[in-house]
Amino acid sequence: MGSLFARQQMPANGAFAQSLTAARRFLLSDWALLAQAILACFVIVLHGEIPGMAGFLLLFSAICIVSDNILATAPSFFFTSLFLIKCDNSLLTFLPLWWLVLFPLAGLLFHFIAYRRPLQTGRSFLPMLGVSVAVTLGGTGALSSWEYFSGASLYHVLALGFGMLLAYVLLRSHVRDEPGFRASRWLSLLLLTLGLLGAFMVFHHYLEHLSFVLEKRTILPFQWRNNISSFLMLALPFAFGRGVKHPFCIPLGLLIFGALLLTGSRGGLIFGFVELLLCGGMLLLADRKRRMAYLIAAAVGAAAALVTFNRWIGFLSPALLRLLRLLSPDEQEARELLYARAIADFKRHPVFGVGIGYMGNRDVHPSKAFALCWYHNSVLQVLGSTGLLGVAAYLFQFVTRCVIFLRRRSLFQLTLFIAWVGIEMMSLVNPGVFAPIPYLLLVTMFVVFAEKESAA
């Protein structure tokens, strides 16, 4: 395999070989996942996002070197992505720490060289190649070279395009089962843990502001509600998917859904409920033995919700009022104005669009430092930023992914599909899958796992 630390090249009884094997086994274990989740909880409780980021990046780098399975690095990476959503508009905080990025980059470079494997591609390669071309050519004739090659624009173009294609190829080549380690089970447990960690963030935030909540009897407003909702919706189906064999996971799924409601995100409120229904349908399809018990529990839950309707509707009223504002003909939000701009930008540049890095709509939505001026709708983002070329490429990719997720009707495939549908729904009102890290990267992982599951 070309590994620097290939097991067969080391003495069978060597102390180093045994220690390395034990370390690798531990890094892929449930205990390692739990330990890193507990560390992330301490970061959240202590509000230590910046030192926590530094610590987890160094941990990620070390795991890249020690473990020959790239999946071992995922908990540290995604847990960091989760608690960093609290650091909104913090570019000036992160800039002095730019050098920290060198450690994970060096770790990844070492990993993919030392533990190199034959490159593989699957059914998603051509659609993703088409999207990469469309994103790269987006803005041709509309953007100046200065706009196209600005830091924020170049990062997003590369990360949404050929960079994500490279990530797909590497993951497709490296994701694998090992003796005593099943990758699909591990992914389900990772996402469940990620969802519980996200729920912990929400509940901890409420606990810190408990006096306000008790006084006002209403949900808390906080700026990271849409981001945390996206994480929770990505994780929710895995709790119910695992619930078929492990029924105690179903209450954990309801806990995650409860945290989703507490975010006050309008997208989370609407699409989270849709996703919950899809998860319920998955349970009924996959677990016929307990089907009646699920129906009875759902009926009891619905009855309890009706009895306490006035209380919870009053508690959620800020989010519901913000939702009703969308229906008011006298009040337009920035999102609605951006939707109109997307159509106008497409009409001006129908073939290639105005480009991902187009900043001409900042009068409507003044984006933060190193952030792009999104249309906050994935369909309109494709239309306005990449034009007809992008529409064709993304449509090809969308249809291909539907086939990949639904080709084999296993419980795991259905779980992946519902999680993907969840983030795609959230992308209709937020950047969503146009945020390369972590959301699009997670979707790319889902696609890789679905392809491997279908081929199994």
57 pLDDT more than 60? yes
Residue 209 lies in a domain: no
Q: How confident is the model at residue 65 (pLDDT cuts 50, 70, 90)?
A: very high
Is the pLDDT at 320 greater than 70? The verdict is no
d(CA 101, CA 95): 11
DSSP run (H or E) holding 408? none
Question: Is 456 a domain residue?
Answer: no
DSSP letter assigned to residue 438: I
pLDDT at 10 over 60: no
Residue with tokens 């089970």: 185
State mean pLDDT over 283-294. 91
Q: Is residue 19 over pLDDT 50?
A: yes
On the question of pLDDT at 46 being above 50, the answer is yes
| Tokens describing residue 211 | 């006096």
Residue 8 has pLDDT above 50, yes or no: no
| Residues in Cβ contact with 38 at an 8 Å cutoff, skipping those fewer than 6 apart | none
How many domains does the structure of the chain reveal?
1
pLDDT (tens digit per residue) in 147-201 = 899 888 999 999 999 999 999 999 999 999 988 899 999 999 999 999 999 999 9
User: Given a cut of 80, is residue 445 above it in pLDDT?
Assistant: yes
Is 166 contained in some domain?
no
| Residue 245 to residue 240: CA distance in whole angstroms | 10
Q: What does the alpha-carbon distance between residue 234 and residue 81 come to, in Å, rounded to a whole number? A: 14
Confirm whether 80 is domain-assigned. Answer: yes
Query: Please, which pLDDT band fits residue 2 given cuts at 50, 70 and 90?
Result: very low
What percentage of the chain carries pLDDT values higher than 90? 69
Biggest CA–CA distance in the chain, Å, is 77
- Residue 325: per-residue pLDDT: 64
How far apart CA 182 and CA 190 sit, in angstroms, is 12
Q: What is the pLDDT of residues 222-280, one digit of tens each?
A: 889 999 999 999 999 999 999 999 999 999 999 999 999 999 888 898 999 999 999 99
In a domain, 178, yes or no: no
Residue 323 has a pLDDT of 64
- 356 near 153, Cβ under 8 Å? yes
Q: What is the mean pLDDT of the chain?
A: 90
Quick one: average pLDDT of 6-26?
A: 73
Least trusted range by pLDDT, from 141-155, 308-322, 354-368: 308-322
Kindly state the percentage of the chain with pLDDT values over 70.
93
Domain extent for 93: 1-116
Q: What angle do CA 8, 14, 15 make, to 5 degrees?
A: 130
- Compute the distance between CA of residue 101 and CA of residue 37 in angstroms, rounded to an integer: 22
Q: Please report which confidence band the pLDDT of residue 327 belongs to, taking 50, 70 and 90 as the band edges.
A: low
Query: 321-328 contacts: CB < 8 A, separation 24 or more?
Result: 322/264, 322/266, 323/266, 323/269, 323/270, 326/266
* Radius of gyration of the CA atoms of the chain, in A: 23
Statement: residue 329 has pLDDT above 90: no
Alpha helices in 176-224 (DSSP H): 183-208, 210-216
| Residue 87 lies inside a defined structural domain of this protein | yes
Asked if pLDDT for residue 343 goes beyond 70, the answer is yes
Confidence of residue 324 (pLDDT cuts 50, 70, 90): low
The pLDDT of residue 448:
97
Predicted model pTM = 0.92
CA atoms within 13 A on the CB side of 260: 30
d(CA 78, CA 230): 13
Q: Which of 216, 286, 275, 215 lies closest to 247 in space, CA to CA? A: 286
The answer to whether 349 and 386 have CB atoms below 8 angstroms apart is no
Q: Is residue 374 part of a domain?
A: no
Residue 44 lies in a domain: yes
